[in-house]
Structure 1
């Protein structure tokens, strides 16, 4: 009986350790080319490939969780997943709540897009996704900020004439402008690059991913991945 009890305890401990090694990665799944859901309903894009490779290098088993952008940090801090990898720019304001890895992109431009040139972005109605560095920037200008929950809605608002322009990551807007209908009318650099975010209590876990990012920078594989997904901000 004692052996049975001991064996059961060991199995329970082993299961707990295994569970602890499964890291849940939270992403939005709606911000191509960084992250999106493919036709099979699976997380895809630059950050899917990056996250899978980082987990491999850190010798961690990872699973993906999607979450609306507006609540992505609160649901990290409440324990619904263990890290955010979702095109999140590193900012001083966010650092008050979460800890970031080093950036896996250099700071890259945000861009204004409109139906035609000649829009004064400092006095126009400008759409931006809520809780982003772009919405924060528009709020500091003389423009009228109109926020939307998703990036797709910001673009739709411009096309419908609800607003005069949109401000978003240029990497996101590039294929949309290339399709026609919108034109770029200006760039602005915001934030300190994009990184993974962690709870402040998870320094060890953050350190494992930080080391993996550094190794991808060192061997050139990170730049190759940025090239593949046509994302600016190479190292």
Structure 2
């Protein structure tokens, strides 16, 4: 209880420090259940609900901006929005360009989906979304990598025979496994958890959201949200 009270007090103090303008939250909108566009044409998913709650706790007015994954960091840096909340794993390489909050989910296991359970990953063609930790991992193994702009294209590549398997977050691949695709037993532990990304010059704003994330961890509401959307293990 002490940590919750202190965290809430710190959050209130930070939120009062001149952050009155609308904060733009950048997301991909194409990576269910983390973020996606629903039938009403609105951003939805775990991160939509999380982002709205964080803004409420920080007493900030926020709006959502949809941006393709392959340009999501450059467009943050150039000022098209103020933060990234898009299932982005915290890595040393990304941390050289932008700053991260503490992770709001633990690392999500990366898994493989293929048309057959006996596919040989080392000799096959592996699909992954471009500029992801999964694409980097496949390249590091020396396997044959084919990259695509969207997660849907990686799955389609397996279905049409362009790739033998796809490597992605298991929570995403859970939704595509069916009669024609199977999940392999092998998984990979990649990245340092998922966090919000900020321009390096926006330390105050990053601190405000970091404090809000901590209050959700402290009161258990973050674990409840993780369980609702089944995006990763809980804290």
State TM-score, norm by structure 1.
0.90
Structure 1 position 171 matched with structure 2 position 171: yes
Q: CA deviation at 1:154?
A: 0.2
Match of 2:183 in 1: 184
Match of 2:9 in 1: none
For residues 19 and 87 of structure 1, what CA distance do their matches in structure 2 show? 24
For residues 80 and 38 of structure 1, what CA distance do their matches in structure 2 show? 23
User: Contact 2:20/2:61 (CA < 8 Å) preserved in 1?
Assistant: no
For residues 18 and 196 of structure 1, what CA distance do their matches in structure 2 show? 20
Q: Which runs of 4+ in 1 moved over 6 A?
A: none
Match of 2:103 in 1: 103
Q: CA deviation at 1:221?
A: 0.3
Residues 110-169 of structure 1: CA distance to partner in whole angstroms, max 9, x if unpaired?
001100111121221000000000000000113110000000000000011111000000
Q: CA deviation at 1:208?
A: 0.4
- Bigger Cα displacement from structure 2, 186-195 vs 116-125: 116-125
Higher relative contact order (CA 8 A, sep 6+): 2
RMSD: 1.3
Structure (1 or 2) with the greater helix fraction: 1
State TM-score, norm by structure 2.
0.90
User: Contact 1:109/1:188 (CA < 8 Å) preserved in 2?
Assistant: yes
User: Contact 2:89/2:192 (CA < 8 Å) preserved in 1?
Assistant: yes
For residues 203 and 101 of structure 1, what CA distance do their matches in structure 2 show? 10
Number of residue pairs matched? 218
Structure 2 unmatched ranges of 5 or more: 1-16
Q: 1:220 to 1:19 in 2, by over 3 A?
A: closer
Structure 1 unmatched ranges of 5 or more: 1-16
State which structure, 1 or 2, has the greater radius of gyration over its C-alpha atoms: 1
